[in-house]
Structure 1
Amino acid sequence: MKPNELIGLFTAAAVAGASEVLATERLLPETISKSEAYRRYGRTCVDRWLAERLIIPDGKTLSRAALEAVSAHSNRLTYLPVAER
């Protein structure tokens, strides 16, 4: 196993462990406001995810877990150029 692969595995394990502890201890809110989502992920990304129905608002709040999942799988290289939209 190459050192870079090992670093990636340790990083993923640390992030997963920290997320699990924070969720179990309820230290992170389950939902965040739209303005907080804009600050964390960028207004254009959040608006696009809402338009594409990748995340569904619950009143005036958004699911933190859904936002993190969509953000983790977002691949900007697959977006169409402006001329092709």
Structure 2
Amino acid sequence: MQLSDIEIKRLMIDTAEMAAKKALIEVGQLKPYLTLKEAQRIHGEYTVNRWINEGLLKPIKDGARNCKVRIDRIQLDAVAATSNRASWYKHNMTE
């Protein structure tokens, strides 16, 4: 499969952005995790919940009951940067 120049450029930009965020996390300038509410504010409540239900995002809960749910920032950005329509179709149309 051949990628177009536009697809290659987009892939390179996405890779550079992810590497920059990872570097900022490693030097302590960016939080490695977002709360579920923060993630939902950025990408939309429905979208984040769908990604969790489809298994694309793995929420982290450190305790029981009222504990905040955390989302790995890099994982969230990776899911948001990729097309996930295929996973939605597979999840919703095969049930």
Taking structure 1 as the reference length, the TM-score comes to: 0.66
Normalized per residue, the structure richer in helix is 1
Contact kept? 2:14, 2:81, Cα under 8 Å: no
AA aligned opposite 1:69: A
Give structure 1 stretches of 5+ with no counterpart.
none
Post-superposition offset of 1:28: 1.1
Contact kept? 2:54, 2:88, Cα under 8 Å: no
Taking structure 2 as the reference length, the TM-score comes to: 0.61
Matched positions, count = 80
Give, in whole Å, the separation in 1 of the partners of 2:78 and 2:11: 18
Name the counterpart of 2:50: 48
Change in Cα spacing, 1:10 to 1:32, as seen in structure 2 (3 Å) is: closer
AA aligned opposite 1:24: E
Identity of aligned residues (%): 31
Structure 1 runs (4+) deviating above 4 angstroms are 7-14, 75-80
